[in-house]
Amino acid sequence: MDKIGTISSHDMGIDVRDFWNFSDPVASEKRFRAILRRKTLSHDEKLEIWAQVARTWSLRAECDKCHAILDEYWDDAMVAGPRPKACFELERGRAFRTAKDVPASIPYFQIAATSTEEDLKVDALHMLAIVAKGDESRRINLEALEVAKVSSNPWAVRWQGTLCNNLGWSAFEDEKFSEAVEWFGKAVIEREKYGNTSAIHIAKWCLGRGYRAAGDLDKAFELQTKLAEEGADGYVYEELGEILLAQGKTEEAKPHFRRAVEQLEAELGAESDKILRMRQLS
């Protein structure tokens, strides 16, 4: 639903996520610029939206353009309220990270992580966890999760799904597959509270992947089959193929690998290792 016509100001300001489509930063920029033409926005709200406009450029890996927008409004943001200040710090950090200058990103995330705006604090902690490694990454994610759990800020509370998912992948990478399944399961519960179909789909796929890694192939197959019935993407078909292969059902796996190749070839590249392997298995 298009909410541009129903923007309202309140104690927490605008929830910019209502206007984001992270898979289409060009359309998102147009939407944010349309919002900026409205006369009902406060100064702080305008600055927060300018930070989102900047972010659309880092998502397109055009970080110079992102920095240019941040530079234009930076001085105003630094003396404004806590929301625009933290938003500008976050987007500066994200732009440096996107440009693969992780050391430059860290101080900005650290400053944003001291914000009194708890949703932005959690966002910054989650970014610090991404750029950290191993146990340090896990520690920061757990810190962020504790903030989200007890927050009175509903936007901060909603971060729990992402954080549980990230903790699941941390455990997965450490080959702690039972722990990964627990975290992925918690992520599904959190995602289902808000009804975002795409986020729920991803969370369930991760849980299914965790089941396969943990050796619970029946649960993995049941979960991925349900996702397929709801409208599978190539990654679901790939998982179904891998599960059947692990069960020794080579022939049954073949059509799933074929479908996965059909749907993922353009995204992954015809000569990618994953596509070449699935072609052989199909």
**Residues 220-275 pLDDT 10s:** 999 999 999 998 799 999 999 999 999 999 999 999 999 999 999 999 999 999 99
Exposed e or buried b per residue across 104-118, where buried means at least 16 C-beta atoms within 10 angstroms of its C-beta: ebbebbebbbebebb
Dist CA 160 CA 185 (whole Å): 12
Q: Does the residue 60 lie in any domain? A: no
Q: Does the residue 265 lie in any domain? A: yes
Which pTM does this prediction carry? 0.89
Average predicted confidence (pLDDT) for the chain: 93
Give the list of residues 6+ apart from residue 96 with CB closer than 8 angstroms, or none: 63, 102, 104, 105, 108
Give the list of residues 6+ apart from residue 84 with CB closer than 8 angstroms, or none: 44, 47, 48, 51, 76, 77
Instruction: Give residue-wise pLDDT tens across range 45-87.
Output: 999 999 999 999 999 999 999 999 999 999 999 999 999 999 9
What is the pLDDT at residue 13? 63
Q: Does the residue 255 lie in any domain? A: yes
Q: Does the residue 132 lie in any domain? A: no
User: Containing domain of residue 261, as a range?
Assistant: 232-282
**Is residue 162 a contact partner of residue 204, using CB atoms and an 8 Å limit?**
no
Instruction: Please tell me the number of Cα atoms within 13 Å of 170 on its side-chain side.
Output: 22
User: Is it the case that residue 11 has pLDDT exceeding 50?
Assistant: no
Domain count, the chain: 1
Per-residue pLDDT, averaged over 141-146, amounts to: 98
Dist CA 26 CA 195 (whole Å): 25
Q: Does the residue 256 lie in any domain? A: yes
